[in-house]
Structure 1
Amino acid sequence: MKRVSFAEFGGPDVLRLVDAEEPHAGPGRIRITVRAAGVNPVDWRIREGQLLKAHPVELPAGVGLDASGVVDEVGEGVTGVAVGDRVFGEGVSTYAEFAVLSAWARMPQGLSFEEAAGYPSVVETALRVIREVGVRSGQTLLVSGASGGVGSAVLQIARARGITVIGTAGAANQDYLRGLGAVATTYGEGWVERVRRLGRVDAALDLAGSGVIRELVELTGDPRKVVSIADLGAPELGVRFSGVAGSVPDALAEAVDLLGRRALHIPVEKTYPLAEAAAAHIDSQAGHARGRRVIVV
């Protein structure tokens, strides 16, 4: 089979499309023929060797955590799913023609493979950081870097919970944020004062790693009310860096519920073939996304 792999840590140029042995579903796992794989910032952080403590890597290594596809092997002890089922979920080395998943859910009706591949990690992350930052119904949450996949999920989940969201993004994405129910403003010079004019901020999330931790602490008045998923230096300022996933099966179940109620929709901004995984990483690292980027197999 074909899969995307890297034999050394580095930039996007270390990614190669190679021939590899097919993986197989062990106990408690399923294998899918991959139809699409979500592109997440954690993918290129792992490729660069940034997250070795949380994600140990043995080289050469595959790439990707999220995928959607059709079940073609069911491991020992697995129930409730059968060969031929359309599923989405999380596993390892998902930029490939076949991948083994450790957590999955059946795809809701009407959801394409490309759309489904964009949900697993971002919904888990969104649910986790909302929980960790401790924001409640009736309060206001500031989201820095709100237009990407995680931001899109945070905005919609928070809205469903009665939380007001102020989102920062580029000028081109202001209407997109408003369409998701956020109070939108641009980043750049003067952004702190623009946020202040919008009202009190009870908690804040840094989703872009754009060097705004000090300002977020200033706006909330307490580093314990700020959580980052993108700035590895956040703990130096007393801010929690959230990098350890919670329950992916629970997150997938909530995603299915939200999708079924039409309370969640994350658009696919761009798709790439397997051979262009490096281009997908370059675009992901550049930021400014509106929704998700997806590898199509």
Structure 2
Amino acid sequence: MNNSIIINNELYKNSELLVNISSNMIRYGIGVFEAPKIVNINEKYYLFSFELYYSRLIKSCQSLNIKFRYSYFEIVDQIKKLIQNHTLSDNSALRINVFSLECSELLEEVEGDVIISILDTNHRNDANLIEKIIRIGSFERIKGHSIYKIKSPANYETSRVELFGDNDVDDVLYTNNNGEICELSRSNIFFIKGNIVYTPDLNSGILEGITRQHVIDICKKYKISVHVSSISRDDLSGFESSFCTGTTNGIVSIKKINDIVYNTQNRMLNFIKDLYLSEFTSTEIIKNMEKFIEL
């Protein structure tokens, strides 16, 4: 039953679903989503830090005036219910979408319908990449605007426009109207110079990435200096290495931004990668079970 999904706690076959064209998701693109991290350890699957994904999902719904109908524990139960009807692999990704399936207008408060599904990440253009080539995008973000803190499908339209037909790059890097670095289309960005790690602050115009914060916490845990502040586009050539972070791919090295080439074999970069991967070993999961939910 790998084509099964959960809608409002009921199991359906994906092929049997119909779409209401009067939904504000269809008419206006109003909706939010989350992609909580699933970890496979010896054929046992765990949710990692799900409370953080759930909290961000609720905040995104509130920002768009979408009523969320389920508690944290109810959503966990629905995820477990879905997992029982799927054969997972290392390429499986969990997706929670929230939008109204019913007829609704642009500005009215809507009751959010919750759709939980399992996706195969092999179809992604950046699946299994070990390093990325990046181009700075032409769209400027507005520094400090709250829209970038919402994880909404609508926020990905500009990256699709930027990347369509461009086979020479893997992603775009956004900057803001102050000429400062923001993030990639689906991941946060970090830089390394010497023994110091740099990453843009939230006010630059970025999503508050959960993997981003996890990497910051790891660096602090192991006494690696992290500077979280605005980063000028003019500073890009002064860094030795760069990497991006996201739930699906974890940490991925950045080989190039425009004409600037970075060292993908940097000692600090590889050290941080190793520390990140070590967080998801069976030994670490047992030591930190409060962060994990067995599925």
Do the two structures share a fold, i.e. TM-score over 0.5?
Answer: no
TM-score between the two structures when normalised by the length of structure 2: 0.28
Which structure features the higher share of strand residues?
Answer: 2
TM-score between the two structures when normalised by the length of structure 1: 0.28
